[in-house]
Amino acid sequence: MMFTKAITRKPCRALIDGITTAMYDDATPVYEKAVEEHDTYVATLKELGLEVEELDADERYPDSCFVEDPAVVMERCAIITNPARDSRNGEKDEILPVIKKFYSDDQIFFIEAPGTMEGGDVMRVGDHFYIGQSERTNAEAAKQFNDIVTKFGYTSSTVPVTEGLHLKDFVIYLENNNMLVSPVMNEQPAFKDFNRYVVEPDELYAINSLYINGTVIVPEGYPKTQKYIEELGYPVKLVDTSEFRKIDGSLTCLSLRF
């Protein structure tokens, strides 16, 4: 799968009030350092050949730099999600104008209440989407999503998320049949036919690595996972996302890629 474009949004100062489960790090982000990390992240996407649409910071929404959550994009259509948390729900309205730059009205669809969904729960493998059933994404949204994408030749299925926040915190697809998984996701029947690497407990954050056109962006500071990815034959670029880690943010959620 080849990507040519990405959408990002600059972190806002309200980032320090972002939602967190303290799953990885019980600390407050340092805004200035988060901006530096984000700039490096965007520069890395550009180095890998992507044309990046950079949106301005939005102080109304502390978590708005995590643009992957209010929309899911693919070649044939785009779906505006319906985030479950009140503090994030308005992000879907703010992402719509930029989505309209790249998709016609008949290619844009919406998850409607009582369905709730965040893009961090949607993992693509070829033309199939695995949808995590989590506190943020419910069965009604998964049904609506399936009804939409099947019209365009895609398929979908659901996977329970029984730990943490989003599906892609615990399983990520690296193309070429390779996956990084947590011990729990390693037991999921849905993933039994993939080549799975079970990430060790002290490096779980590194599961959320990001495949871009043959290269894998890996969070800085997780040498065992980095070594495994390199041994698979992927070139690796390291990016520090330690400030975003403090509010459960990671590599995939900082961009929409298509």
Question: DSSP class of residue 21?
Answer: -
Residue of 112, 56, 104, 53 lying closest to 81 (CA atoms)? 112
Is 253 a known active-site residue?
yes
| pLDDT tens figures, 129-185 | 999 999 999 999 999 999 999 999 999 999 999 988 899 999 999 999 999 999 999
One-character DSSP codes across 76-111: S-EEE---SSHHHHTHHHHHHHHHHHHS-GGGEEE-
| Structural contact between residues 231 and 31, judged by C-beta atoms closer than 8 angstroms | no
What would the pLDDT profile of 42-65 be if each residue is shown by its tens digit?
999 999 999 999 999 999 999 999
Q: How far is CA 24 from the centre of its chain?
A: 16
pLDDT number for residue 18: 76
pTM score: 0.95
Question: CA 196, CA 198: separation in Å to the nearest integer?
Answer: 6
**Looking at residue 75, which CATH number applies to its domain?**
3.75.10.10
Position 39 scores a pLDDT of: 98
Distance (Å, rounded) from C-alpha 208 to C-alpha 216? 10
65 as an active site residue: the answer is no
Q: What is the pLDDT of residues 226-252, one digit of tens each?
A: 999 999 999 999 999 999 999 999 999
Decide: residue 117, CB within 10 A, 0-12 exposed, 13-18 middle, 19+ buried: buried
Report helix, strand and coil shares of the chain as percent, to nearest 5.
35, 25, 40
Instruction: State the pLDDT at residue 48.
Output: 98
**Range(s) of the domain holding residue 219:** 5-257
* Alpha-carbon 79 to chain mean position: 14
Distance separating alpha carbons of residues 178 and 236, to the nearest angstrom: 15
Question: In the chain, how many domains are there?
Answer: 1
The single residue of 12, 65, 77, 253 carrying the catalytic annotation is: 253
Closest listed residue to residue 126, CA positions, set 144, 153, 99 = 153
Considering the chain, what percentage of its residues have pLDDT values greater than 90?
Answer: 93
Choose, from 12, 65, 77, 166, the residue flagged as catalytic. 166
Distance of alpha carbon 235 from alpha carbon 213, whole angstroms: 10
Task: Give the chain's mean pLDDT.
Answer: 96
